[in-house]
Chain A
């Protein structure tokens, strides 16, 4: 195994702005791309760049979005994929190498009829979903008797409970933390605080994970303007430098063939990120472990080294802020202060990235961590999509 450890782009690329439409259960008669366009305009205006300056675009519907926004010409355009760490890595690569100077990156989230009853009653969403399902083809032919896809996280959560003789209320801490944080985020979809009793009483979906362990289907979008650190200094908002970023995937990456809780994509990410970065967990002011499923957050906390494997309960309980009903590491570092995927909405990491940028720009409103300088983003799960980034204020 040879992890990537060089980091010639360290602090060379910066977020100039981040913006969101905000998230709701249903934005009504919109499309995925109309939401993206809304967020893009907000990000471009917040950064104070001219649309003619944008020469790179990263997202899921680039030709349409560029055309709608009237961006005259780009020299770099690539699909983003999810979670959003792929977009960060692509933007850094494009800008540091000179393929683009000013990149517009966006991610749109559009409820689909497979996990939203209201979406299923919208004939246009239903038609879009059928087209997507037809394009993707079939599965593995095993129907529900499979752990391929998102179910894989539930399966490995069962392994965690077994190996460490844990109980599922451990995951409940992540759900409660996120909801307490979302109460202070006007962009979040779920803002009513919950208790551990609420968590334990909530609907079981796939044991050991219940509905509150799973991210919330939403409508909305985030967008970002990313450019050289030098250029960002002259724009409207304080620049947020990408200090280090990486992805990670191991050979046995199919959900049921993944070797163990000690060897998966997160470990590949962390080995590389740690080597690239001068800053690590002791320097972090605000922490963003992915939470598309609560169990993923537990794994990121442990694997990043905040505590040992199987020690998340001790770590969370000893860093629990009773007053705020949330995690506050060493009494100062919040975890997903925007409410994360479980409460702000299932943004596949764009919400985490936006909040990290806002925290480091001092724009996080009543959630603001005083004097925040360093943020750690650990996005994605175990199998095909683990990612990490360290952002900092110069």
Chain B
């Protein structure tokens, strides 16, 4: 349930006309607007999962709680877009980095977004990253920032 300071479902939908929002994944998107990366965690067995499901895929408990992650992890997949549809703040001439990060919370739990504040040749699989937030298209977007000198 939204707190007093959070959006109603209708307000949330209006902020994300480009996404398939529903009653299961709305908590994740509401978190983004508040600059919090809330991934589903089972309150019974502790298992994390993403994308949001109505139950814990491990134990089938319905007691799944959108829970902020620590925001640290390791780059697992790394690509560079040389072209694509126009998007606010995206420069394909650079080209534009997109990485999937394996989060420290759990093996195989991953989150994908861009990297900020780094040259492309520093963005490599195995590099350690920390969650940061940028603005894109008038909404907060979780993004990754390299952690100096760390490699895994």
Give the B-binding residues of A (Cβ under 8 A): 137-148, 151, 154-156, 158-159, 162, 203-208, 251-252, 254, 256-257, 259
Contacts and interface: CB of A to CB of B under 8 A. Distances in A.
Nearest to A208: B79
Contacts of A257: 50-51, 108-110
Nearest to B101: A256
Given A140-B20, A142-B113, A259-B108, A147 B77 contact: yes
B19 interface: yes
Contacts of B76: 159
Interface string B76-103: 1111111111010010000110101000
Contacts of B108: 252, 257, 259
Interface string B106-130: 0011111110000000001110000
Query: Which of A141, A154, A252 gathers most chain B CB within 10 Å?
Result: A141
A159 B82 contact: no
Interface in B52-91: 57, 76-85, 87, 90
Contact of A204 (B29, B82, B126, B141): B82
Contacts of B16: 138, 141
A158 B19 contact: no
Contacts of B81: 144, 205-207
B87 to A, nearest CB: 5
A159 B79 CA distance: 9
B112 A147 contact: yes
A145 B114 contact: yes
B17 A156 contact: no
Question: Which 7 pairs from chain A and chain B are nearest by CB?
Answer: A141-B19, A155-B77, A207-B80, A162-B125, A256-B100, A138-B18, A145-B114
A126 to B, nearest CB: 15
Contacts of B96: 144
A75 B149 CA distance: 65
A144 B90 contact: yes
A104 B2 CA distance: 52
Nearest to A254: B51
A141 B18 contact: yes
B136 interface: yes
Contacts of B112: 142, 145-148, 155, 256
Given A138-B18, A252-B108, A256-B110, A156 B77 contact: yes
B79 A145 contact: no
Contacts of B85: 143-144
Contact of B18 (A143, A147, A203): A143
B19 A207 contact: no
Contacts of A156: 77
Interface centre among B77, B78, B84, B136, by most chain A C-beta atoms within 10 angstroms, is B77
Given A146-B112, A162-B125, A206 B18 contact: no
A206 B84 CA distance: 9
Contacts of B137: 143
Contacts of B51: 254, 257
A16 B84 CA distance: 43
24 contacts: A138-B20, A140-B19, A140-B20, A143-B85, A144-B84, A144-B85, A145-B90, A145-B98, A146-B112, A147-B100, A147-B112, A159-B76, A162-B124, A203-B82, A204-B95, A205-B81, A206-B81, A208-B79, A254-B51, A256-B100, A256-B110, A257-B50, A257-B108, A257-B110
Interface in B2-28: 16-20
A1 to B, nearest CB: 15
Contacts of B83: 205-206
Contacts of A140: 19-20
A144 B87 contact: yes
B100 A205 contact: no
A372 B80 CA distance: 42
A46 B128 CA distance: 60
Interface string B123-145: 01110000000001100010100
Given A138-B20, A140-B19, A144-B84, A155 B110 contact: no
Given A145-B112, A207-B81, 7 more contacts: A138-B18, A141-B18, A143-B136, A151-B98, A155-B78, A158-B77, A207-B95
Contacts of B80: 206-207
A139 B18 contact: yes
A203 B82 CA distance: 9
